[in-house]
Amino acid sequence: MKNARFAAWLLILGLVTALTSQAHAQFSIGPLRQLNSYFQGQPGTITATCAVMNCTATPMPIFVPTPLLVQCPKPAGFYCDLYIHLESQDTTLTRNDTGLFRFWVDNAAATPGPVDALGYFTWDNNDPDSRIAAAFSHSYAVVAHVYNLDNNQFHGVEVDVNCIDASGNGSCTASTGFSSLEVNIY
């Protein structure tokens, strides 16, 4: 019984170490040749909200269609690198809460990112003036390494807005306004 617990503990420790080191590892890629580009834009307001103490809102896709299907124009067994660049006007964040963007590729965190293990980038964290501040813009870019299982495979790219009730007051709201997305394929 002790050996089984120890083995399970080692397995969990190994997984945590692998995810942590992957999410925080420095990387360099290149030189690269650009193969394709995709763009999306949206002029509306997209809002993520939750109403339970210490909640995390359901991630809300900023762009439609979602996911954006981008093609890696290479044979099966080859990789492409995606450069995913978001420009977003952030119009609302409840006071003392955390505003997040989630970068999701093929239903997983964009890797190597940089994002956390769940695909998140924090754009505002526990700011006491966030509710009264004027709308402002954020720009953030990540890299995703994708593998083709099929020739010229399409991969899904999704960028979401989200929030966390960091203040513990029982709710959070985060909204984006004008937003654009650029995905370059290498």
* 8 domain-assigned: no
- Spatial contact of 79 and 148, defined as CB atoms under 8 Å apart: yes
pTM of the model: 0.82
* 160 domain-assigned: yes
CATH number (domain holding residue 149): 2.60.120
* 51 domain-assigned: yes
User: Exposed, middle or buried by CB within 10 Å (0-12, 13-18, 19+), for 114?
Assistant: middle
Residue 66 structural domain: 35-185
Residues 59-115 have pLDDT tens digits of 999 999 999 999 999 999 999 999 999 999 988 898 889 999 999 999 999 999 999
* 13 domain-assigned: no
* 6 domain-assigned: no
- Spatial contact of 175 and 100, defined as CB atoms under 8 Å apart: no
Number of Cβ within 10 Å of residue 105's Cβ equals 24
* 9 domain-assigned: no
* 139 domain-assigned: yes
* 25 domain-assigned: no
What φ, ψ does residue 133 adopt, rounded to 5°? -70, 150
Give the per-residue pLDDT at 126.
76
The three-state secondary structure class of 95 is: coil
Q: How many domains would you assign to the chain?
A: 1
